[in-house]
């Protein structure tokens, strides 16, 4: 199959590209390298450095004729979205629409979308949240994820392009960007390994559902199946608070940093944990990597990465 992965030089996108290539697909990447790295790119994938909001991407679609688009490229930082919702929307809404319109005009059959189980529900009513629960995002970032799902539903109903929206929990693992504000696991590990002081935003008792990258990749493989369609949570159903993550990583990195707390950040809910029952029932997907094992593998990766 000919597959476009937008954001294929980023953390999650590059792992998806590796897997799709390994499975024998013909993979093309569009990425503007704003947070992605050229080193993440699979050499067997064809690469176009371009912004997804650039009108010229239609030329790539027309030339390459994709069967499937896997849309991972996004402005991923919740705090940037709170501070500058217009900037966030330029990529996450206008850029996405540019991708979807190009897909529509060139006969793409299906779009797989990286949605967010962490941001779309807001303060949850059920723990863990299920896909039919109310969606009350607390950030512009979360709103854009919801809006994308609605647009994709429109393209399915009116233009016959199928879609799968995977609502990821907090994804962590090798290649995650540690320079931004998003991705607490990568940020803490990097700071601990370089003897810098990590800051826990707020009291640290806010919880998240942490899912290892290989489990997310598996879900993106299932999403390729013809009978896979619609919205699915991709999480573990287990929540951990940030203080726990901090202390576990301190142990794994051997850091002696102190536990320092800063101001809580706007746009983030108190508890987040999502159910994977729907995708388990439909396709047998379950998270295979438990949190402690995933953290240990991630620390090992960053030790090598930082020493390189």
Cβ atoms of 3 and 67 closer than 8 Å: yes
In this complex, which beta carbon is closest to ligand NAD, that of residue 151 or of residue 257? 151
In this complex, which beta carbon is closest to ligand NAD, that of residue 155 or of residue 195? 155
User: Could you say whether residue 95 binds ligand NAD (CB under 6 A)?
Assistant: yes
Q: What string of H, E and C letters represents the secondary structure of 123-192?
A: CCCCCCECCCCCCCCCCHHHHHHHHHHHHHHHHHHHHCCEEEEEEECEEECCCCCCCCCCCHHHHHHHHH
User: Nearest approach, Cβ of 306 to ligand NAD (angstroms)?
Assistant: 18
User: Could you say whether residue 171 binds ligand NAD (CB under 6 A)?
Assistant: yes
Catalytic residue among 48, 100, 121, 141: 141
Known active-site residue 141: yes
DSSP state of 129: B
User: Nearest approach, Cβ of 256 to ligand NAD (angstroms)?
Assistant: 28
Cβ atoms of 223 and 71 closer than 8 Å: no
User: Could you say whether residue 11 binds ligand NAD (CB under 6 A)?
Assistant: yes
Three-class SS state of 274: strand
Tell me the window of 7-15, 121-129, 259-267, 279-287 that interacts with ligand NAD (CB under 6 A): 7-15
User: Nearest approach, Cβ of 4 to ligand NAD (angstroms)?
Assistant: 12
Strand partners, 31: 49
Q: What angle do CA 60, 165, 174 make, to 5 degrees?
A: 80
Considering only residues 226 to 265 of the shown chain, the ones binding ligand NAD according to CB under 6 A are: none
Which residues are near ligand NAD by CB under 6 A? 7, 9-13, 31-36, 51-53, 72-76, 91, 95, 114, 116, 118, 168, 170-171, 177, 183
Active site residues: 141
């Amino acid at each position: 199959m000919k597959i476009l992965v937008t954001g294929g030089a980023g953390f999650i996108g590059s792992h998806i590209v590796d897997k799709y290539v390994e499975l024998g697909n013909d993979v093309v990447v569009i990425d503007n390298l704003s947070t992605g790295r050229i080193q993440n790119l699979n050499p067997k994938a064809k690469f176009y450095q371009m912004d997804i909001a650039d009108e010229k991407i239609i030329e790539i679609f027309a030339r390459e004729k994709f069967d499937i688009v896997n849309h991972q490229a996004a402005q991923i930082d919740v705090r940037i979205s709170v501070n500058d919702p217009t900037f966030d929307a330029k990529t996450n809404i206008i850029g996405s629409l540019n991708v979807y319109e190009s897909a529509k005009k060139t006969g793409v059959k299906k779009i797989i979308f990286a949605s967010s189980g962490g941001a779309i529900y807001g303060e949850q009513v059920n723990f863990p949240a299920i896909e039919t629960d109310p969606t009350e995002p607390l950030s512009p970032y979360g709103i854009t994820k919801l809006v994308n799902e609605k647009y994709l539903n429109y393209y399915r109903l009116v233009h016959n392009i199928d879609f799968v929206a995977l609502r990821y929990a907090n994804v962590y693992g090798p290649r995650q960007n540690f320079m931004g504000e998003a991705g607490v696991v990568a940020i803490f590990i990097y700071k601990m390994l370089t003897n810098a002081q990590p800051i826990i935003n707020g009291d640290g008792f806010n919880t998240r559902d942490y899912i290892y990258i290989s489990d997310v990749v598996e879900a993106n493989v299932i999403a390729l199946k013809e009978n896979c369609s619609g919205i699915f949570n991709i999480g573990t159903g287990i929540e951990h608070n940030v203080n726990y993550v901090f202390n576990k990583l301190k142990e794994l990195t051997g850091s002696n940093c102190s536990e320092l707390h800063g101001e809580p950040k706007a746009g983030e809910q108190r508890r987040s944990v999502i159910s994977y029952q729907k995708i388990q029932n439909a396709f047998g997907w379950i998270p295979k990597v438990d949190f402690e094992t995933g953290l240990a593998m991630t620390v090992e990766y960053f030790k090598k990465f930082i020493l390189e």
